[in-house]
Amino acid sequence: MEPSELERVARQIRLRDLQAVYEAGAGHIGGEMSVIDLLTALYFRVLRVWPDQPRHPDRDRFVLSKGHTACALYVTLAKRGFIPEEEISTFLKPHSRLNGHPNCNKVPGVETNTGPLGHGLPVAVGMAKAAKLSGAKYHTYVVTGDGEMQEGSNWEAIMAAYQFRLDNLTLIIDHNRFQQGASLSDTNDLAPLRPKLEAFGWEVSEINGNDMHAIVPALEHRSDRPHCIVAHTNKGHGISFMQDRVDWHHKVPSKEQYEIALAELSEAL
Amino acid sequence: MNAPVNPPKLYDCRDAFAATLERLAAENETIVAVCNDSVGSSKLGGFKSKFPDRLVNVGIAEQNMVGVGAGLANGGRLPYVCGASPFLTGRSLEQIKADISYSNANVKLVGISSGMAYGELGPTHHSIEDFAWTRVLPNLPVIAPCDRIETAAAVEWAASYNGPCFLRLSRVGVPDLLPEGHKFEVGKANLLREGSDVTLIANGTLTHRIVKAAEILAGRGIKARVLNMATVRPIDEAAIIAAANETGAIVTAEEHSIFGGLGSAVAEVVVDNTPVPMKRLGVPGVYAPTGSAEFLLDEFGMAPAAIADAAQALIKRK
């Protein structure tokens, strides 16, 4: 799929995510809007996956470490054919398998359970290392939040990935500059991320993470080292009043706000 | 004068673990060992020289180690993730919950030097909370073998079992108790001695102490049943209920806090089914003084004679 087509799909996913969060009365809409372009490029262009065989041994691995943005992943997986699209309406409902954080034993396409922060990258390192041990050709991608990089476990994994020379691993940091309670800069400011990753031996690309023309080549880039993409994004991207506002981490739009957001996203279509 | 008695030969169960893992790895190329700079203490030196590419040493980084284990399993490898038990379990408990137990990842966690094995190193290095931390987690059998034979059998069982488990090993020498060729069965107690007056239940390094306690009790005319309860979760409810009904009193002994471990697990079954007097021996909710593992177990009332005394006192409450 070409970037212009990916942009169209990403807008459809944004719209469905907005509806799902509004109808469920809960969700993490800000971080979902920031990461949707990355998810779209992965699932509709980059990842080698077979929705009818979700555990195919040669599949590329994708881990959404920022598991609280599960709704965006569910909408993407549904659109890609892993789960029925109508199932999105069960998000957060009693006994739905579409929990607030993704479950690998219930939802096809989910590789490992996430939710607590700082778990996805270590597991992704294991996945990439497994491919090195077995000779498998799959590539492993993991998306973390930027606030999530405050977890020490990520830096343990960053050290191991370089030590193991995992050229089959790509870390994408969704750098939307906000965490749950405040901006990153007012909490434990990790920026600039690039020199920190480079100091640990990684190759680093820095892109606009809401621009498909930048996302696609970055995701397809390969080198002889683990690769980190610092994706500069906007929390709430695509919805004017949410953009770059910390309070939209897990706020639910009112009816009026929902209609404005709906119109903005529809207009974009 | 009595004839001299030769003490039984003692074995470090880590040797049985390492030898079995190397044998299994020779047959199964998916087996990998993962460790945290613990090649020596996990006895992985032989594995490393035989399968250098399959030894994944993450350095001193336990949270990453457990996550890497989950990822290796996702990629079709069969990882044995080894580290000193206080750090493997305590430092990465949330990884064990989310990445291993909740994800149901096919990872074998191996806690080395558990209990009071690092006695002199102090309470930071004692692993007397690991049963409590792990046995609340679904999908995760918790196993503490009592001798080298059961250790080897449990390590072999783990390779054939499609799911995660936690093996809790010591480094303190223990004598052979089970017969050669013993097959490990998860969730099943082994009856080591029949008896009708009281039941003694233990696992790991405590099993040989309750066997000795039963011998002491026999000398006092008391018939003690002895159960080796290697699996703390899922626990052998049938054996516990039968012990309660048929002997009317139960003593547990463990190299663990008395809160949340084997004794608690047995007590839960007893109160839910057939309440009888119980005595739970273990570390009574304190940090231990300095001393060797053997010294500390004696200090906390788990010398064989002290276990026998506790059993004898308990029988009076029947």
Judge: B103–A160 Cβ closer than 8 Å, yes or no: no
Answer for the pair A14, A265: CB distance below 8 angstroms, yes or no: yes
pLDDT tens, per residue, chain A with 269 residues: 999 999 999 999 999 999 999 999 999 999 999 999 999 999 999 999 999 999 999 999 999 999 999 999 999 999 999 999 999 999 999 999 999 999 999 999 999 999 999 999 999 999 999 999 999 999 999 999 999 999 999 999 999 999 999 999 999 999 999 999 899 999 999 999 999 999 999 999 999 999 999 999 999 999 999 999 999 999 999 999 998 888 888 899 999 999 999 999 988 76
DSSP state, A202? -
Judge: A130–B58 Cβ closer than 8 Å, yes or no: no
The amino acid sitting at B6 is N
Among A173, A163, A180, smallest CA distance to A250 is for A180
Residue bearing tokens 């490898």: B77
Which residue intervals of A135-177 are DSSP H helices?
152-163
Structure tokens at A211: 């621009």
Taking the Cβ of residue B67 and every Cβ of chain A, the question of whether any pair is shorter than 8 Å is answered with: yes
Taking the Cβ of residue B78 and every Cβ of chain A, the question of whether any pair is shorter than 8 Å is answered with: no
Q: What are the tens digits of pLDDT across the range B257-269?
A: 999 999 999 999 9
Taking the Cβ of residue B135 and every Cβ of chain A, the question of whether any pair is shorter than 8 Å is answered with: no
What stretch of H or E contains A220?
helix A212-220
The dihedral sign for the CA sequence B293, B298, B300, B304? positive
Mean pLDDT over the full length of chain B? 96
Predicted structure pTM score: 0.96
pLDDT at B4 over 70: no
Please identify among residues 61-120 of chain A the ones whose CB lies closer than 8 Å to any CB of chain B: 61, 103-105, 111-116, 118-119
User: Could you give the CA distance from residue B247 to residue B230 in angstroms, rounded to a whole number?
Assistant: 20
Give the pLDDT band of residue B286 (cuts 50, 70, 90): very high
Q: Are strands B55-57 and B78-84 parallel, antiparallel or unpaired?
A: unpaired
pLDDT at B1 over 60: no
Residue bearing tokens 């050669």: B180
Show residues of chain A in contact with B53, CB under 8 Å. 133
Judge: B98–A119 Cβ closer than 8 Å, yes or no: yes
User: Could you give the CA distance from residue B161 to residue B184 in angstroms, rounded to a whole number?
Assistant: 11
CA dihedral B50, A138, A39, B68 (to 10 degrees): -10
Å between B63 CA and nearest CA of chain A: 6
What stretch of H or E contains B83?
strand B78-84
Structure tokens at B189: 């107690």
ipTM > 0.90, yes or no = yes
pLDDT at B95 over 80: yes
Taking the Cβ of residue B52 and every Cβ of chain A, the question of whether any pair is shorter than 8 Å is answered with: no
Q: What are the tens digits of pLDDT across the range B288-315?
A: 999 999 999 999 999 999 999 999 999 9
Q: What is the pLDDT of residue A42?
A: 98
Which of B65, B68, B107 would best serve as a mutation to test chain A binding (most A beta carbons within 10 A)?
B68
Please identify among residues 89-108 of chain B the ones whose CB lies closer than 8 Å to any CB of chain A: 94-95, 98-99, 102-105
CATH superfamily of A3-267: Thiamin diphosphate (ThDP)-binding fold, Pyr/PP domains (3.40.50.970)
Which of A114, A133, A137, A148 would best serve as a mutation to test chain B binding (most B beta carbons within 10 A)?
A133
Q: How many A-B residue pairs are in contact by the CB < 8 A criterion?
A: 116
Show residues of chain A in contact with B103, CB under 8 Å. 104-105, 112-113
User: Could you give the CA distance from residue A171 to residue A145 in angstroms, rounded to a whole number?
Assistant: 11
Judge: A129–B70 Cβ closer than 8 Å, yes or no: no
The amino acid sitting at B201 is I
b/e map B237-248, b = 16+ CB within 10 Å: bebbebbbeebb
Taking the Cβ of residue B283 and every Cβ of chain A, the question of whether any pair is shorter than 8 Å is answered with: no
